[in-house]
Amino acid sequence: MANFIPQEKIAEIQLASDIVQIISEYVNLKQSGKNFLGLCPFHSEKTPSFTVNPEKKLFKCFGCGEGGTVFNFLMKQEGMEFVEAVKIVASKSHIDLSHLNNTNKPSLSVTEKTRLFNINNFAVRFYNKVLLDSEQGKEARDYLKKRHINDQSIKNFCLGYAPNSWDSLLRVCNGRNISKNLLEKTGLVISKKEGNGYYDRFRNRLMFPISDSRKQVVGFGGRALDDSLPKYLNSPETVLFNKSNVLYGIDQAKNSILKHRKVILMEGYTDVIMAHQNGIEWSVAVMGTAISRHHLRLLRQYCNQVILLLDSDIAGWKSSDRNLDVFIEEEFDVKIAQLPKDYDPCDFLVAEGVDKFLAYVHDAKDFFSFKIETASSKWDTSTIQGKANAIHDVLSTAMKMPDIIKRNLLIKWIAEHMSIDEATLRIQLKKFNRHTSFADEKQTASRRLDASFTAERELLYLMLSCNELIPRVLEEIGLEEFNNRDLFKIAGKIVELYRKNTVVREEDVLHILDDVQLNKTLMDIITTKEFQHITNQDKRLEACIHFFKRRNSKKERYQAKEKTLKTIMASNNEEDILVSLDEFHRKSKNIHILKNKT
């Protein structure tokens, strides 16, 4: 592994790090005994199986199997390299690595990301100043006034104005020696198709900086103040910005969402701002995109109920309402609220006030009532085919409900509400089911572990939890006995560290494994419950040695048998055959002796 940070330094950083605090930036953790529990950011779940152990400084998800050190967490979560993750943790733990940077190149992507964030922050300040203090910003100020967005909101959301010119931002960035190449990477400027210059992406637009949940500005939304199209222009996809991952307002809303255990999901920047301005801080917006799994996983950290606030027309939700099925797949409790025709949430709040607004939110419709309604309006349910189509629509969504009990209740409910015989509905369902169960079976089969694998895993566990046993393992079993290639590689690393330091800790091994799969395998072993209950390591090692010996004799007997058969086939020499048979019998006897010992 390209790793210029010395092993001791990595260990020091790991020791100094607060894994709970670092992971808490991404996952809402609750203490539970010695550990902390939360919802896994790497797979979809409703009950927490993501565990952080502050004592061992490891995390592990018992749902999807992800796990490792704080470095592994950042690598996976932020998609960074090991060395980058170590540096981030070092800086969070106040360990200075600057002396190492002198002799080695700093990791490009971390510094680049930081630079991009800095440029975004600079642009926020620039646009904000133009909005507040300049003559050019007047039109934007008037627009905000017209929409009743007050000064406090402008400040909270750092609103700004991009002047009506091709190079306002470019020029101030030039003056500060900000590289154009980096500037282009933020999406704030675009390189000219012809010739070699750049121009500002956002011109004559009201600017909404978009932050992630950690309050880092990842992109911008700009609303045209004239007839320019599109009316709303977002930053393009960049290293920092992916609109399927970001919810507008999440940085301001997250604490309130956590408190209310629910969130209002809207579509517009001004909707969110106006809701917050009226004290409804548990609201966020998606940005001109369908609701994605990533959005919901982000929200899952704070709540399990979503109230979708639709402008009066459903088409506004880019939905084919099928896009909303993701809520069911992710087991979110989702309700749909609809405002009166021709109102968006911002206007409605201004015109009708907060109480009426909240009344609509509280009257939100159950998702499947909404689903039946849309299906019924999509098809002509007075005809048989139309009704069948509507039922098919609703059922195909219902089948995505992962929880089988809920799914059953739902079928009953749908049968009632669509006036169909429940039994008929269930026959229809079987057709859906046939596709899914096959895949499940296949998965279980592939997960089945054999005895060898179990024994090899236990042996690794023993080597790690009781380093003194390592020499005996090498002497009596030997690394070449590991059949599983992954376990063999991990064992090799353990021995390598043992020879170097005579002390091997789990995290040391994790640090030098440069393969995600190996890392996962090792984490599985470290966190296997049965292993943790092992008290008498010597005895267990004895059992392992015995197992390996027996496995070997079986192998030898098999080989002897093969050899005997071959000899019989190939030779007429009686003596050869007898020698082979004798060898075969000896091997068989060995197995019996070993068997009786257990």
Classify strands 333-338 and 365-366 as parallel, antiparallel or unpaired.
antiparallel
Query: Tokens 């750049």 belong to which residue?
Result: 198
Q: Which of 7, 16, 43, 147 binds Zn ion (CB under 5 A)?
A: 43
- Residue among 40 and 473 whose Cβ is closer to Zn ion: 40
DSSP character at residue 502: S
Q: How far is CA 366 from CA 71, 137, 258, 334, in A?
A: 42, 44, 22, 7
What span, in angstroms and rounded, lies between the C-alpha atoms of 329 and 401? 6
Only segment of 57-65, 187-195, 313-321, 517-525 that touches Zn ion (CB under 5 A): 57-65
Site residue total, Zn ion (CB under 5 A): 6
- What is the SS3 assignment for 451? helix
Classify strands 305-310 and 333-338 as parallel, antiparallel or unpaired.
parallel
In contact, 300 and 264? CB cutoff 8 Å: no
Only segment of 39-47, 419-427, 449-457, 493-501 that touches Zn ion (CB under 5 A): 39-47
Only segment of 64-72, 81-89, 275-283, 516-524 that touches Zn ion (CB under 5 A): 64-72
Please choose, from the candidates 394, 333, 317, the residue with its C-alpha nearest in 3D space to the C-alpha of residue 365.
Answer: 333
> Does 37 sit near Zn ion (CB under 5 A)?
no
Half-sphere exposure of 227 (CA within 13 A, CB side): 0
- Hey, which residues between 459 and 498 contact Zn ion (CB under 5 A)? none
CB of 60 to Zn ion, least distance (A): 9
Q: Which of 10, 40, 350, 364 binds Zn ion (CB under 5 A)?
A: 40
Among positive and negative, which fits the CA dihedral 234, 238, 242, 248? negative
Only segment of 60-68, 151-159, 175-183, 185-193 that touches Zn ion (CB under 5 A): 60-68
CB atoms within 10 A of CB 36: 22
- Residue among 5 and 40 whose Cβ is closer to Zn ion: 40
- Residue among 63 and 386 whose Cβ is closer to Zn ion: 63
CB of 77 to Zn ion, least distance (A): 12
Dihedral, 559, 562, 568, 570 alpha carbons, nearest 10: -100
Q: Which of 16, 18, 63, 294 binds Zn ion (CB under 5 A)?
A: 63
Secondary structure of 20-81 as H, E, C letters = HHHHHCCCCCEEECCEEEECCCCCCCCCCCEEEECCCCEEEECCCCCEECHHHHHHHHHCCC
* Assigned token pair, 577: 């055959």
In contact, 336 and 361? CB cutoff 8 Å: no
Q: Which of 42, 143, 199, 232 binds Zn ion (CB under 5 A)?
A: 42
* Assigned token pair, 256: 């309130």
CB of 246 to Zn ion, least distance (A): 22
- Residue among 295 and 300 whose Cβ is closer to Zn ion: 300
CB of 65 to Zn ion, least distance (A): 7
- Residue among 62 and 413 whose Cβ is closer to Zn ion: 62
- Residue among 32 and 424 whose Cβ is closer to Zn ion: 32
CB of 51 to Zn ion, least distance (A): 10
Classify strands 232-234 and 217-224 as parallel, antiparallel or unpaired.
antiparallel
Query: Tokens 């599109």 belong to which residue?
Result: 230
- Residue among 64 and 132 whose Cβ is closer to Zn ion: 64
Only segment of 38-46, 286-294, 319-327, 522-530 that touches Zn ion (CB under 5 A): 38-46
- Residue among 86 and 526 whose Cβ is closer to Zn ion: 526
> Does 61 sit near Zn ion (CB under 5 A)?
yes
- Residue among 447 and 597 whose Cβ is closer to Zn ion: 447
Taking every pair of Cα atoms in the chain, the longest distance, rounded to a whole number of angstroms, is: 110
In contact, 271 and 345? CB cutoff 8 Å: yes
- Residue among 73 and 302 whose Cβ is closer to Zn ion: 73
Main-chain phi, psi angles of 160, to 5 degrees? -150, 180
> Does 46 sit near Zn ion (CB under 5 A)?
no
DSSP annotation string for 313-351: -GGGGT--GGGGHHHHHTT-EEEEEEPPTT--HHHHHHH
Neighbouring-strand partners of residue 455: none
Only segment of 56-64, 95-103, 392-400, 476-484 that touches Zn ion (CB under 5 A): 56-64
CB of 50 to Zn ion, least distance (A): 6
In contact, 239 and 276? CB cutoff 8 Å: no
Only segment of 53-61, 252-260, 309-317, 422-430 that touches Zn ion (CB under 5 A): 53-61
- Residue among 40 and 518 whose Cβ is closer to Zn ion: 40
> Does 23 sit near Zn ion (CB under 5 A)?
no
CB of 37 to Zn ion, least distance (A): 12
- Residue among 44 and 204 whose Cβ is closer to Zn ion: 44
CB of 42 to Zn ion, least distance (A): 5
What span, in angstroms and rounded, lies between the C-alpha atoms of 43 and 64? 6
CB of 298 to Zn ion, least distance (A): 15
Q: What stretch of H or E contains 142?
A: helix 138-146
- Residue among 38 and 137 whose Cβ is closer to Zn ion: 38
What span, in angstroms and rounded, lies between the C-alpha atoms of 248 and 56? 36
CB of 63 to Zn ion, least distance (A): 4
Peptide bond into 340 cis (omega under 30): no
Q: Which of 64, 132, 224, 466 binds Zn ion (CB under 5 A)?
A: 64
Report the interhelical angle of 108-133 vs 168-175 (nearest 10°): 120
CB of 85 to Zn ion, least distance (A): 19
Only segment of 42-50, 281-289, 456-464, 549-557 that touches Zn ion (CB under 5 A): 42-50
- Residue among 284 and 522 whose Cβ is closer to Zn ion: 522
CB of 41 to Zn ion, least distance (A): 8
Contacts of residue 80, defined as CB under 8 A and 6 or more positions apart, other chains included, come to 74, 88, 109, 110
> Does 39 sit near Zn ion (CB under 5 A)?
no
CB of 67 to Zn ion, least distance (A): 9
What span, in angstroms and rounded, lies between the C-alpha atoms of 419 and 317? 29
Q: Which residues bind Zn ion (CB under 5 A)?
A: 40, 42-43, 61, 63-64
